[in-house]
Amino acid sequence: MALRYILKEDDKQLYKVSREVKNFDGRLHTLLDDMRETLLDADGVGLAAPQVGVLRRAVIVVDTNREELSPEEQIIELVNPVIVAVEGEQEGAEGCLSVPGVYGIVKRPEKVTVRAFDRFGNEFEVTGEGLTARAFCHEIDHLDGHIFKEFASRILTPEELDEMYGDDEDENAEDSVE
Ligand code: CO
């Protein structure tokens, strides 16, 4: 496994549409393993393949609804993910590992069901609520070349950031989506 460099918002790759994964092979597994390591290292909630410069439809999301699991076990791998159902609404702060230090208010569904394939090509469905639902939407947007800032009603000011996150680093990690 290896850490991969996370592209920043000025990189054109982030605005391209990623292609479907067709081969569930060792190359995909290495990509997903590296993405896992990179996400855990960055202490984020999700990461999309285009963020590490690979224009393929693969994302990983931390299932924050399952706190009984270790961080590694909480990671859900979604290959060729499609949102099949949404419910409710939430409005809150969202950030991105490609846009460090910037948070915007984004409206998302409260509950999101995704149909995807695992790394071996088996189809499955998973439902996430709250932050996990937000992360599903955010990461799938990356696959279509979209960054959360496009959907933000406004960007938080430094004063608001201070108020929200203050000097508590852990809280910061809880509330950010990548
Ligand atoms: Co992001």
C-alpha of residue 47 to centroid of ligand 1, in Å: 6
pLDDT digits (tens, 9 = 90+) for 124-171: 999 999 999 999 999 999 999 999 999 999 999 988 888 877 655 544
- What's the domain count of the chain? 1
Q: How many CB atoms lie within 10 A of CB 43?
A: 15
CATH of the domain at 100: 3.90.45.10
C-alpha of residue 166 to centroid of ligand 1, in Å: 22
**Letter string b/e over residues 61-98, b meaning 16 or more CB atoms within 10 A of that residue's CB:** bbbbeeeeeeeeebbbbbbbbeeeeeeeeeebbbbbbb
For residue 108, the enclosing domain spans 12-172
C-alpha of residue 48 to centroid of ligand 1, in Å: 7
Instruction: Give CA separation, 109 vs 85, 128, 138, in Å.
Output: 10, 10, 11
pLDDT digits (tens, 9 = 90+) for 3-54: 999 999 999 999 999 999 999 999 999 999 999 999 999 999 999 999 999 9
The pLDDT of residue 50 is 98
Q: Please indicate whether residue 72 is annotated as part of the active site.
A: no
CA-based torsion, 51, 105, 176, 140: positive or negative: negative
Structure tokens at 173: 């990690």
Q: Which amino acid is at 47?
A: L
pLDDT digits (tens, 9 = 90+) for 40-96: 999 999 999 999 999 999 999 999 888 889 888 999 999 999 999 999 999 999 999
> Is residue 178 situated within a structural domain?
no
| Lowest mean per-residue pLDDT among 26-30, 106-110, 151-155, 174-178 | 174-178
> With contact defined as beta carbons under 8 Å apart, do 80 and 20 qualify?
yes
C-alpha of residue 27 to centroid of ligand 1, in Å: 23
Catalytic residue selected from 9, 72, 94, 139? 139
> Is residue 108 situated within a structural domain?
yes
As a whole number of angstroms, the distance between CA 138 and CA 111 comes to 13
